[in-house]
Amino acid sequence: MSPIRLDEPSEMPSTIGGGQITVSEYIFRRLCQVGIKSLFGVPGDFNLALLEHIYDVPELNWIGCCNELNAAYAADAYAKTSKQMAAVVTTFGVGELSALNGIAGAYSEFAPVLHIVGTTALAEKRSPNAKNIHHLIANRKIYQKPDHYVYEKIAKNFSIATASVDDDMEASCEDIDHVIEAIWRNSRPGYIFLPCDLTERVVPEERLEIALDLSYEVGCSSEKIEQVCNRIIERIYSSQNVSVLAGAFISKFRMNKLFDRLVELLEDKVNFFDTYMSKGVYNEEMPRYIGTYFGEKGNKVVSEAIEASDLVLCFGSFSNDMNTGFFSFKLGDDQIADINAQYTHFGGQMDTDVTMMDLLPVLVAKLDVSRVNTAVKYTNIPRQSLRNVHADVDAPLTEADVGRNIENLLQPHDVLIIETCSFMTGAYRLKMNGACLVNQCFWGSIGYALPATLGASLALRDFQKPGKVVTVEGDGSAQMSLPELVSMLRYNVSAIMLMLNNDGYTIERALNGPYRSYNDICGNWQWTQMLKTFGDINEEKSKSYKIDTAKQLYALTSTAEFHNEKRFQMVELIVPKFDMPWNYKQYEVKELSS
Amino acid sequence: MSPIRLDEPSEMPSTIGGGQITVSEYIFRRLCQVGIKSLFGVPGDFNLALLEHIYDVPELNWIGCCNELNAAYAADAYAKTSKQMAAVVTTFGVGELSALNGIAGAYSEFAPVLHIVGTTALAEKRSPNAKNIHHLIANRKIYQKPDHYVYEKIAKNFSIATASVDDDMEASCEDIDHVIEAIWRNSRPGYIFLPCDLTERVVPEERLEIALDLSYEVGCSSEKIEQVCNRIIERIYSSQNVSVLAGAFISKFRMNKLFDRLVELLEDKVNFFDTYMSKGVYNEEMPRYIGTYFGEKGNKVVSEAIEASDLVLCFGSFSNDMNTGFFSFKLGDDQIADINAQYTHFGGQMDTDVTMMDLLPVLVAKLDVSRVNTAVKYTNIPRQSLRNVHADVDAPLTEADVGRNIENLLQPHDVLIIETCSFMTGAYRLKMNGACLVNQCFWGSIGYALPATLGASLALRDFQKPGKVVTVEGDGSAQMSLPELVSMLRYNVSAIMLMLNNDGYTIERALNGPYRSYNDICGNWQWTQMLKTFGDINEEKSKSYKIDTAKQLYALTSTAEFHNEKRFQMVELIVPKFDMPWNYKQYEVKELSS
């Protein structure tokens, strides 16, 4: 294997002189200021001159991905894992459109990802005689000039802010700053479009000393915040059975510390629930942590407990089908204080200018815990866990066995990535052991988990966090983004990938056409050979296993060596084609004689 | 390897009864009517009910691809190779966006591809309380309802027509027909959006008896066509040195037969040139076929010959940077009759209502060849070929050697696919031997060639055409779309893939940062093991070779067995990292001691 060669220093001095730097370097140094250390992407002729300036900024590492969609997925997971921002660089047209599904996913799931696109030259973009430059869609009427801004217009659907750099460098820098700030504050993607003829334009270096404003924007007066908060507090005091439902936006809007403080205050008084998308937000050992609320589709005892509350303090919950047991939550409007990332809805009043970020600090400061009534103490709640799944260890491996072993495996600070696959549909029940969950619960693009493993692992490394990435991948999904496995070798990633080999799209089989060819994949992938074939001939950087019984899997996952192994580990798990998770739609499958 | 199981018959009868069929079947049977035999795509929960109806139409084969971008690439190549239409099926949001780069490429390069998207339910799309269903981007304001039509709006940028099926089945069928007709006539993509709750709605089967109107629309009176034609003909008669420049739109708008007739008429009188994007349009053995015009970047003798003409009859030429030697054609407006797919520009007059499709039949009918003056007869034009490259057979293999061997290999009716890679930049000089060229010369999305090999091979098979697909792929490009190699096994594809292993993005190295990490890939792919690892353990369906000298390559490609082999053949070609094509930008590369 050819060694990874360190880049020689840039041919261009970092500082042009006279206190000037290029706008390219300006962008990259701004990224460093918000904590980004790894930059994902794919080179292309419209971004090469920009990429050259990565080497002006030694703190920034270029992570060359196999394709742009994978790069966007990796960036999404980097942002979700680090709770910081991430950035991805693509080239005009072909690259940016390839990444679009990943950016749309980040937009939909509130992941702060900056997409930097190297575009055609400004001179060409503005020319009254604009020509058909490669990667640009020709006009519907071929004799009319093409629109070089066509992709920038589309990007507005998937971004919170965009900056199209032009020859007004001062205004462009302001736009760049604004995009980064908006991404951070709104926890959603933004775009910077940099024309290839402007990469060397200079801006004053001292502009970098103007600190980016990453504070949340307060949309109303402190009197109004206090007013809303008081109403909620009064209601808390007057309620007999209060629950707290923690949603996904707590982490996405970086409110964990304040929320933890609130939990600490209320720990003995009220009951605590999380949602699928917020798994890992609590210490699950807390006596009053009841479980993950998944409505009618979830654990009945958990659902009945929260639904019996006379007040549910709901923080940053994300209302979408996948997070709510297909909209089966049974909580009346009069029962909820919905304190959210963009609004507060309480007592029949909708305030779009009062948010969780406004309310939490005031709530924590003002709440007199002695006046909070002690809620029902549940003693019949089984600890959320799959450990009670009783697997015959000599029988073929099932997805339930896999879940149980993940619970054995997960350690505090680990990151569990679950692909949108059959396994995901039951995983809301998993005990997290202090690990956090990174997936695309709502966006649900299959193929996400494999590049996400790269992004999450680099985030742990970059921010020197303890823990390890453990990924559950499906074979049908893995083939969507397979090449990115090579990056595990290139960047020395030490994650664990549990590859469910169930011979196709089992999740789709459950919905329709269990035996149909459209749910088949070419079923003979040699998973344990994959990393060797991708370059790690002598297993210097990876290790592969093939497992087909619960006994074998338990033997593997229960050793300390397995969790501590520095190499990337690929564990192929042979599970039956129709083995479905624990609570998914049941259907009759008559095995064909084949 | 598990055998490919034939699907059992549909659980639903093909005809519901009473002469009714489902709208899903209606769409698929319309596709059959325009000649489509293979349908590309990826299953997803919003298209499963639709896909179920493939089995109502036994003439249609489902080709399950590894991801949606690959499916779109394969469909593009299927359309380009068959000169018919192609279709790709994806699922709402995640699938359709993943395919977008491929559809945009088809739009830009005039490939007739239908994109069918299974969407959320119509009831949900129209609901005043539309909810966050998975695969849908949440509203910018999370408390406002999401827009289920957001992707349909974006698709309009990349399509000639769209149909959004709703509960008015009669109108929807009209829209569906219109989209298919528009795709065919305009040779560009269109979309059908089918909500998942409407797949079982019925329409009268007899509607299928209304023939689709695939004729070109004539935009003006026959008098006007005649008038323009007469002016051109008069100019032909008065010119002394006429050339014919054949462009890409001849094939794209299916005018080959009429154009061939024109060439036959003029064969002894004028000189013939093609462009990069139209390579293969002529019989290269024709004495007056001069070569491929590539402006300043091309062969000087060829360029001087066409530029010396007093009239260039230019048919269906596509003006874009990659097809014109970066806009270096030197032909004055007064020198050209630009007879194009959407307009005719001649003698200072622009007619957007008179096209090549209007003019060619009239021109062929009216031209009196005896009145055409005999053009300069060039005797100094070397036959276009790379055979004169003198390779030291014991020296390391170069891309020039590869080109020479392709010329040895190509046979009439073969399809040559060239990736957007270093090799492409010089391939305009290749002798085609009656093969046709399928690539993304203008759109230039790297990664296209590998799935295109699947699509083109299936097109040859479906339409029982002789010939074979020969693909030149780059390693940097191959990693973009690598998993689709498995489909070569699944669908028993017998193409030849020449994999240039030059350790990264050589084409980008030529432009910028020859030693930069952003131009590196993980350089130890085991190409000859790939197909085994992807499932063909015993080389029953594939064969792999590793070649590093011209001598070895010649020995391989000059045997009849090699061209006739039924298995898929992967030929890894070890070429130097900085070996560049024959006419590309030259630059100094000082090898680093590593």
Q: How many CB atoms lie within 10 A of CB B7?
A: 16
| Residue A431 touches partner B, C-beta closer than 8 Å | no
Residue of A475, A468, A533, A472 whose CA lies nearest to A498: A472
Largest CA distance in chain B: 78
Chain A, nearest residue to B320 by Cα: A132
Contact A132 B343 (CB under 8 A): no
Q: Which chain B residue shows the shortest CA-CA distance from A528? A: B533
pLDDT of residue A5: 32
| Residue B452 DSSP one-character state | H
Contacts of B487 in chain A (CB under 8 A): 522
Q: How many angstroms from the chain centroid is the CA of residue B515?
A: 33
From residue A327, how far is each of A106, A427, B132, B143 by CA, in Å? 22, 18, 10, 15
Answer yes or no: is B475 a known binding residue.
yes
Go through the domains of chain A in sequence order and give each one's CATH number.
20-209 (3.40.50.970), 222-371 (3.40.50.1220), 399-574 (3.40.50.970)
pLDDT for the residue A582: 52
- The answer to whether the CB atoms of A340 and B143 lie below 8 A apart is yes
Give the 3-state secondary structure of A498-554. Answer: EEEECCCCHHHHHHCCCCCHHHCCCCCCCHHHHHHHCCCCCCCCEEEEEECEHHHHH
Query: Who wins on pLDDT, B509 or A556?
Result: A556
CB contact under 8 A, A508 and B44: yes
Amino acid B519: pLDDT: 81
pLDDT score of A575: 86
Q: Please, are residues A77 and A456 in contact by the beta-carbon 8 Å criterion?
A: yes
Mean pLDDT of B324-331: 95
pLDDT at site A591: 33
Distance (Å, whole) CA B81 – CA B78: 5
Residue B6: its pLDDT value, please?
34
Task: Determine whether the interchain pair B7/A45 forms a contact, defined as Cβ–Cβ distance below 8 Å.
Answer: no
pLDDT at B592: 31
- pLDDT, position A427: 86
Average pLDDT along chain B: 91
Residue tagged 């917020």 (tokens): A278
The residue type at B571: V
User: CB–CB of B67 and A520 under 8 A?
Assistant: no
Place of tokens 């997803």: B44
Helices B550-557 and B399-409 cross at an angle (nearest 10°) of 10
Mean pLDDT of B245-253: 97
Percent of chain B with pLDDT over 90: 79
Q: Closest approach of chain B CAs to the CA of A268, in angstroms?
A: 32
Tokens 């070798």: give the residue: A489
Does B504 carry a binding-site annotation?
yes
CB spacing of A508 vs B133 below 8 angstroms: no
Question: What is the pLDDT at residue A421?
Answer: 82
Angstrom distance (rounded) from CA B199 to CA A303: 35
List the structure tokens of A315: 């923080």
Distances (CA, A) of B358 to B192, B214, B279, B311: 29, 15, 23, 20
Q: Between the CA of residue A74 and those of A342, A438, A453, B424, B567, what are the distances in Å?
A: 27, 11, 7, 30, 36
Which residue in chain B is spatially nearest to A138 when comparing CA positions? B108
Q: How far apart are CA B465 and CA A517, in angstroms?
A: 26
pLDDT at B10: 41
Beta-sheet strand order (sheet of A349-351): A289-292, A271-274, A242-246, A311-315, A336-339, A344-346, A349-351
Which pLDDT value is given to residue B546? 96
The Cα–Cα gap between B570 and B74 comes to: 18
C-alpha to C-alpha distance for B427 and A406, rounded to whole angstroms: 53
- A535 to B512: CB separation less than 8 angstroms, yes or no: no
Contacts of A320 in chain B (CB under 8 A): 131-134, 138
**Chain B residue numbers touching A138 (CB-CB < 8 A):** 107-108, 110, 320, 442
Please tell me the predicted confidence (pLDDT) of residue B526: 95
Of residues B577 and A152, the one with the higher pLDDT is A152
A328 neighbourhood in chain B, CB within 8 Å: none
The predicted complex's ipTM stands at 0.94
DSSP, collapsed to helix, strand or coil, labels residue B218 as coil
* CA–CA separation, B225 and B343 (whole Å): 11
The SS3 of residue A259 is helix
Q: Is A513 in contact with B321 (Cβ distance < 8 A)? A: no
Residue A396 gets which letter from DSSP?
B
Residue of B nearest to A339 (CA): B143
Q: Is A178 helix (H, G, I), strand (E, B) or coil?
A: helix
B535 to chain A, any CB pair closer than 8 A? The answer is: yes
> Does the beta carbon of B5 lie under 8 angstroms from any beta carbon of chain A?
yes
Q: Would you call B44 and A3 a contact, using CB atoms and an 8 Å cutoff?
A: no
Asked whether the beta carbons of residue B534 and residue A526 sit closer than 8 angstroms, the reply is yes
pLDDT tens digit at each of 594 positions of chain A: 233 333 343 444 445 667 999 999 999 999 999 999 999 999 999 999 999 999 999 999 999 999 999 999 999 999 999 999 999 999 999 999 999 999 999 999 999 999 999 999 999 999 999 999 999 999 999 999 999 999 999 999 999 999 999 999 999 999 999 999 999 999 999 999 999 999 999 999 999 999 999 998 888 999 999 999 999 999 999 999 999 999 999 999 999 999 999 999 999 999 999 999 999 999 999 999 999 999 998 889 999 999 999 999 999 999 999 999 999 999 999 999 999 999 999 999 999 999 999 999 999 999 999 999 999 999 877 665 555 455 556 778 888 888 888 988 999 999 999 999 878 888 888 899 999 999 999 999 999 999 999 999 999 999 999 999 999 999 889 999 999 999 999 999 999 999 999 877 777 777 777 778 888 877 789 999 999 999 999 999 999 999 988 889 988 988 889 999 999 999 999 988 777 665 444 333 333 322
Show the DSSP H helices in A308-416 as ranges.
356-366, 399-409
By CA distance, what is A41's nearest residue in B? B518
Position B575 confidence tier, pLDDT thresholds 50, 70, 90: confident
- Is A503 flagged in the annotation as binding? no
With b for 16 or more beta-carbon neighbours within 10 A and e for fewer, the B569-594 pattern comes to bbbbbbbebbbbbbebeeeeeeeeee
Residues from chain B contacting residue A481 (CB–CB below 8 Å)? 67
Radius of gyration of chain A (CA): 25
Write the secondary structure of B47-70 as one string of H (helix), E (strand) and C (coil): CHHHHHHHHHCCCCEEEECCCHHH
The Cα B131–Cα B146 span in angstroms is 7
What is the pLDDT at residue A392? 59
Res A41: pLDDT: 97
Inter-chain residue contact B137 with A157, CB threshold 8 Å: yes
CB of B241 closer than 8 Å to CB of B310 = yes
pLDDT at res. A580: 67
Assign 3-class secondary structure to B483-499.
HHHHHHHHCCCCCEEEE
Closest CA to A109 of A439, A352, A432: A439
State the Rg of chain B over Cα.
25
Angle, CA B374 vertex, CA B371 and CA B376 arms, to 5°: 155
Stretch (H or E) spanning B345: strand B344-346
Burial class of A50 by CB neighbour count within 10 A (0 to 12, 13 to 18, 19+): buried
CA dist A301 and A310 (Å) reads 17
| Residues 481-520, chain B, touching A (beta carbon < 8 A) | 481-483, 486-487, 489-490, 503, 505, 508, 511-513, 515-520
Strand arrangement of the beta sheet that strand B271-274 belongs to: B289-292, B271-274, B242-246, B311-315, B336-339, B344-346, B349-351
List the structure tokens of A47.
Answer: 């971004």
What residues are paired with B324 via a beta bridge? none
User: B415-418 and B436-439 as β-strands: parallel, antiparallel, unpaired?
Assistant: parallel
CA B357 to mean position of chain CA atoms? 21
Q: What is the DSSP string of B539-554?
A: -SSEEEEEE-BHHHHH
How does B332-348 read in b/e, with b if 16+ C-beta sit within 10 Å? eeebbbbbbbbbbbbee
